[in-house]
Amino acid sequence: MFSYVPESINPAAPLIVVLHGCKQKATTFASDAGWLALADRTKVFLLLPEQKGLPSFLYYISYIPGFGDWFQGWYGVNNPLGCFNWFKPVDNKRDSGEALSIRQMIVAMIERYSVDRSRVYIVGLSAGGAMAVAMLASYPELFAGGATVAGVPYGCADNGSVALQCMNPGIDLLPEEWRRRFGEGQQLERRAPRISIWQGDADTTVVPLNEQQLVEQWTAIHHASATPIRTETNGPITRQLYADNSGAIEVEAVTVKGLGHAFPIQTNGPADCGQPGDYVVSTSICAATEISRFWGLNSVRN
């Protein structure tokens, strides 16, 4: 695992877990997407788990029938493209596989740096976004909040073939069924964490239907209406806010017009927000800043 500890940080500072997407590296993604800059600015710890995949020149081997799985095992990789295995039951449930491994990393960070246990957050892009949702389902007591960018609902798939269907064209289920599938991660002993859901409306890899399904899953989990209490539009950015019965905003959905399969940054904003890179593109909004704001962390709003 990788971590980032800003200079002059308070020992009881919050922790943000950042999960990269397929074909990405943990530290590069965290830097490009603006999380390192945000950590320096707001003085938060970062945990950067990294999936072990094949080198890019060996990707093709994973598709050879009868040989790919053997080679991956021999090479010691968890996923040939370096994706978190959000769709595998052995990896996306409490106390099992990758979910357990990420939890152990979080606990290690908490113990090593005396992190504020009440302010642990998780965010991810694409496969990392889906894995972030899986972590929220598996360990809701561990997180104060989460965010998913180009992600899918928890329980959408239990194998690679269905995972591709989840991504495109998407799977449309009733909110009650999504809530039931979320509950299979583990029995909720406390309220679920609040979540920020981000989607590009031009994404053809993880289609916009998934944003709608995530909203339906998470509003059902929070016993909230799937009708937003407020909609804010600022140029290509549309933000919808959803409240529970007490009026507390527990879910937000942010749609970025024209954004494809990528994490949105703002290179000309008031605060440093990373730089364009693989699956990281410049837009009119800094997702890292806005997500941290939704969580209630101190940051400059763009």
- Taking the CB of residue 282, how many other CB atoms lie within 10 A of it? 16
Q: What is the Cα 125 distance to its own chain's centre?
A: 5
- Taking the CB of residue 75, how many other CB atoms lie within 10 A of it? 15
284 is annotated as an active-site residue: no
Lookup: tokens for 44: 């938060």
Tell whether the torsion through CA atoms of 157, 226, 262 and 13 is positive or negative: negative
Q: Which of 126, 138, 292, 299 is catalytic?
A: 126
In terms of DSSP H, where are the helices of 50-202?
A: 68-75, 97-113, 127-138, 160-167, 175-183
Lookup: tokens for 99: 């979910």
Per the DSSP assignment, residues forming a β-bridge with 195 are: 146, 251
Active-site residue set: 126
